[in-house]
Amino acid sequence: MLFYIFGDFLWVSHNMLYSSEPGLLHISSAFYALQGILFCIAAINVIIRMSGRFERIESGADAFIIAGLVIYIAWKLFLGNAALTAIENPAERYVLFLYVFIDFVLIFSVSVISHIGRNDFADRLNSLALLIWCTTDIYYYWEYLSGTYTDSSYIDVFWLAAFFMIWYSLDYRVRNGLTDIIKNEFEPTSSHKRKSSSAAMKILFIIAMLLSYDDITAFALLSVLVIFRNVISRFMHTYLVNEHLTEEYRKLNEMLEEKVIERTEELKLKNRELKILAGVDELTGLPNRRQFTEKLESIIHISNDSTFFALMFIDLDRFKSINDWYGHEIGDRLLISAAQRFGEVLGKDGFLARLGGDEFVILIDSVTDVSGVLEISDRILKAFREPFYIGDSKIISTVSAGVSLFPKNGKDSSSLLRAADGALYSSKEKGRDCISLYTSSMKKKEKLRLEIESRLYDSIRNNEMEMTLSPVVRSNDMSISALQASVIWNNPVLGRMKQEDFSVIAEDSGFSIDIGRWLMHKACSAIAELAELSYSDLRVFIPVSERYFMGSDIVEEIRDNIIRYGISGSNLEIEITENFYPKDRNIMMEKLSELSRMGVRISVKDFGNGYASLSRLRSYPSDTLRISERITSGIVRERDSQLLAEAIVSAGRIFGKRITADGVSNARQAQMLRQFGCDEMQGAFFAKPSSLEEIREILDKSYRLP
């Protein structure tokens, strides 16, 4: 618009100075032309940005053809001959032709935009203004060529009107926040627009053909244009129909798939909700937590201080290990079988429910005193000492349970459940496969357990841990062949605690990794010190928890310690328990094999405590079997313990394992173990756990048996 205003200023100045109108070659014409060119560039840019689909291209092609035909007809009827007769200067003819060309280009550009776009008020007003502007220009050229134009005539009003319409459309956009002219919102060409376009083209083609009767070239070009337009229109129409149908088919498929998934998930959710609302455990078919809670609350509601009933909280022993070892499918089948066995044992003596996982609970209201509860408990323990046969697997899973009594241990559901849970923890501390009645001392133990867990966090950082060593003695000459490493925790509040007093809590809370790593470092350092004193052949047993073994890069840590302290891998003997059931057995075997290749020895601790020891003896690349302290403690008085010890020694001989007995507390035990053929012994009979400095003084000692 600025170019137009400046061109007008030059035109008026010339008119006032020379009292005559400037010609087409005056400098003002350049500014008028620039203004038109910029309008054309802007319009074409809008068309390019709007054209993104075949349907728009088809509509755009129609608009271009219509505009081209209009230009041809107008030039043929009006402007062409008039320009040749009225203007003698060729340069002025070219300028006039440029003006006409710019106006017609602008006309068909506006037509295209109006045809394929979804226009708002500002768009329509702007298009109308440009059409008025161009039409007035063309009329001015006609008057100019015919010599009838006069200054300040009525056609100036149309230019001014178009000018203000353009200004108002821009102002409208700014006020309404319509700063982006291209909104990328288009609608398919309606059938009404298609019919209108087709009719207009037919009429214009007929007129153009009639006007080009004496020009064979123009006639041929128009004919080709008609054929081309029909071919392109048919092709585009077919393509768009196919594309539309394909897109609709794809959307329909996606919608159907989503609906199927949605309905399936809804159905599963509703089924689960129905089972929960029905109070049934989905896996076992037993009453679930909801139904059990309602049952317990209803009994408490009708009970008084003279009422007696018991609550038994039960866990399957080592269920997590069994689940990880055999897989979740076997684990689920074990839970189902356990539920059936509970039902067979209980009969009508109790209300059985599954709370979740391997947790079961029994409400016993069919007895009148503790003796009745103990009788039922004994039946349960005996039943679960029998193996489960699931598929090709023979699985033994005993139970641990805790019992709380109403009203002695609580008069509400939360108190009774909490007391039963505390008693259950006590059963696990005793070694599992037992049932404990809740006592007031258990509350103190639970409090102590929580305090131990909280204080373990800073134990290593505060240098509260201490490594102790105890001798392992050869049975043949009673000389020291190895050392047993363990941890003593010296806490300023809790006092001096042995490793067995906090190892379970450390494992459950995750602190066993840090403790195991610390002990490994200390033991390797001790081996290096002893090697300097010419005790380079001594082995050191280092207990390793399952969490430390599987939850850390223990192989690299041991390798780093061996390199750091310059010791041999054969000086280290890693202890894992018989019930070591990691989730990923392949990783476990890889680590054990790698340690063996490094020369590190593997010993299986507490051998004989479990029920599947001999069947798994081949599974571990172990060097030593360690008879459990429980068997050792009963070897003098119990025939079963003697038979077990002899069987373990025999199995060790068959599989080429060294046999070490733990927990030797008197000479009689040592004598019997030596008679059975046990290779090594360790326990309080030989020496109490001591510091490295104290152990140095007894390394050359040989023990004697009476």
Tally DSSP H helices, then E strands, for the chain. Answer: 24, 16
Tokens, residue 396: 């033994």
Comparing 453 with 571, the larger pLDDT belongs to: 571
| Cα 514 from Cα 385, distance rounded (Å) | 36
Say if residue 169's pLDDT is above 70. Answer: yes
CATH 3.30.465.10 fits 463-696, yes or no: no
**8 Å CB contact between 411 and 433:** no
Which residue in the block uniquely carries the two structure tokens 């007895």?
A: 367
Cα atoms in the 13 Å half-sphere on the side-chain side of 217 = 0
- Residue 689, preceding bond cis, omega within 30 degrees? no
Provide the 8-state DSSP code for 162. Answer: H
Burial class (CB in 10 A: 0-12, 13-18, 19+), 30: middle
Q: How far is CA 664 from CA 55, 250, 480, 650, 651, in A?
A: 94, 78, 14, 20, 21
Binning pLDDT at 50, 70 and 90, where does residue 563 land?
A: very high
Say whether pLDDT at 217 is over 80: no
pLDDT at position 315 is 94
Decide if pLDDT at 527 tops 70: yes
- pLDDT attached to residue 696: 92
Model confidence pLDDT, tens digit, residues 261-295: 888 888 888 777 766 666 888 899 999 998 999 99
CA distance 55 to 57: 5
Q: What is the mean pLDDT of the chain?
A: 81
Query: Residue 5 has what pLDDT?
Result: 67
pLDDT for position 175: 77
pLDDT at residue number 487: 96
pTM for this predicted structure: 0.52
Report the percentage of the chain scoring pLDDT > 90.
39
Mutual orientation of helices 54-74 and 191-211 as an angle, nearest 10°? 30
Residues in the chain: 706
Give the span between the Cα atoms of 181 and 48, in whole angstroms.
Answer: 13
Cα angle 392, 396, 400 (rounded to 5 degrees) comes to: 150
pLDDT score for 490: 95
Is 60 exceeded by the pLDDT of residue 536? yes
> What is the Cα–Cα distance from 598 to 594, expressed in whole angstroms?
6
Task: Return the SS3 of 641.
Answer: helix
Q: Please write the tens of the pLDDT for every residue from 94-151.
A: 676 677 767 777 777 777 666 655 566 777 777 787 778 777 777 777 776 666 666 6
- 555 has pLDDT over 90: yes
Cβ neighbours, 10 Å, residue 363 = 20
Stretch among 156-160, 448-452, 468-472 having the lowest mean pLDDT: 156-160
Instruction: Report pLDDT digits (tens) over 309-323.
Output: 999 999 998 887 788
Q: How far apart are CA 563 and CA 555, in angstroms?
A: 12
DSSP 82-114: HHHHH---HHHHHHHHHHHHHHHHHHHHHHHHH
Give the pairing type, strands 388-390 and 393-395: antiparallel
Q: Is 621 exposed, middle or buried (0-12, 13-18, 19+ CB in 10 A)?
A: middle
pLDDT of residue 1: 57
Q: Is 117 exposed, middle or buried (0-12, 13-18, 19+ CB in 10 A)?
A: buried
The whole-number pLDDT of residue 354 equals 95
Q: How many CB atoms lie within 10 A of CB 662?
A: 23
d(CA 66, CA 68): 5
122, 110, 140, 133: which is closest to 50 by C-alpha?
A: 110
The predicted-structure confidence for 15-66, as pLDDT tens digits, reads as follows 667 666 666 666 766 676 677 777 777 766 666 566 555 455 555 566 566 6
**What's the gap between Cα 222 and its chain centre?**
65
Of all residues in the chain, the percent with pLDDT exceeding 70 is 73
Strand positions, DSSP E, 384-501? 388-390, 393-395, 399-406, 435-437, 465-474, 480-491, 495-498
Residue extents of the structural domains in the chain: 2-211, 215-278, 289-438, 463-696
* DSSP output for 177-234: T---S------PPPHHHHHHHHHHHHHHHHHHHHHTTT-HHHHHHHHHHHHHHHHHHH
- pLDDT for the residue 77: 65
- DSSP assignment of 38-57 equals HHHHHHHHHHHHH--SHHHH
Q: Are 57 and 51 spatial neighbours (Cβ–Cβ below 8 Å)?
A: yes
Looking at this protein, which amino acid is placed at residue 384? F
> How does residue 416 score in pLDDT terms, banded at 50, 70 and 90?
very high
* 289-438 classified as CATH 3.60.10.10: no
